[in-house]
Structures are given as structure tokens and as C-alpha cells.
Amino acid sequence: MLPTNPNRARLLKDEEGAVTVDWVVLTASLVALGSMATVLIWQETASVSGKTAEFLDGQKLVSTFAENEINSEGTTGID
């Protein structure tokens, strides 16, 4: 059996540093959660930007406007 030490009993009851430890643990968990969210968002953003680039590369740029040009539906677009 361990000898009884009055300083050990006082140390075990002392809670002054507990708040600091709580804040460190909470802050570390929030940083970890934020990092995970950033990684997930970054991956999805890269995927969406790639799809957007592919879509825009396939588009045709029309630099002039013809008043009576027929569109894909067979109409002129003029009401």
C-alpha cells in the first residue's frame, strides 16, 4: 500500500488546471473538425470546377447577333 502523502491528496483535489485542459481539448477538437471539413469541401470543389470547365469548353461562342437567325427549335426567337 502506498504511503499517505498530504500533498498528493491536495493535488488530486486541485482543479485549477482542469479548465485549461478542457479548453485545450475543445480547441484541438474544433481545429480537427475544421480541418476535416476543409478537406471534404476542397475535394468537392475540385470536382465541380472540373465539370464546369468541361461544360464551358464544349460551349460555342457566338460573337454576332442575327435578327432572323433560326435556333435549334426551328423558330426565329422573335415574337
Q: What's the confidence (pLDDT) of residue 2? A: 57
Residue 62 lies in a domain: no
Instruction: Give the closest residue to 53 by CA, choosing from 62, 64, 41, 45.
Output: 45
- Which domain covers residue 40, as residue numbers? 6-49
Q: What's the confidence (pLDDT) of residue 44? A: 85
Q: What's the confidence (pLDDT) of residue 62? A: 72
Q: What's the confidence (pLDDT) of residue 73? A: 63
Cell of 7: 500533498
Residue 79 lies in a domain: no
Residue 44 lies in a domain: yes
Please give the tally of structural domains in the chain: 1
Tell the residue number behind the cell numbers 475544421, with chain if given. Answer: 34
What is the 3-state composition of the chain as percent helix, strand, coil, each rounded to the nearest 5? Answer: 60, 0, 40
Q: What is the largest distance, in Å, between two alpha-carbon atoms of the chain?
A: 102
Residue 15 lies in a domain: yes
- Please classify residue 47 by burial: count the beta carbons closer than 10 Å to its beta carbon, then call 0-12 exposed, 13-18 middle and 19+ buried: exposed
Residue 1 lies in a domain: no
Q: What's the confidence (pLDDT) of residue 36? A: 95
Positions of the chain with pLDDT under 50: none
For the question of whether the overall pTM of this predicted structure is more than 0.85, the answer is no
Residue 19 lies in a domain: yes
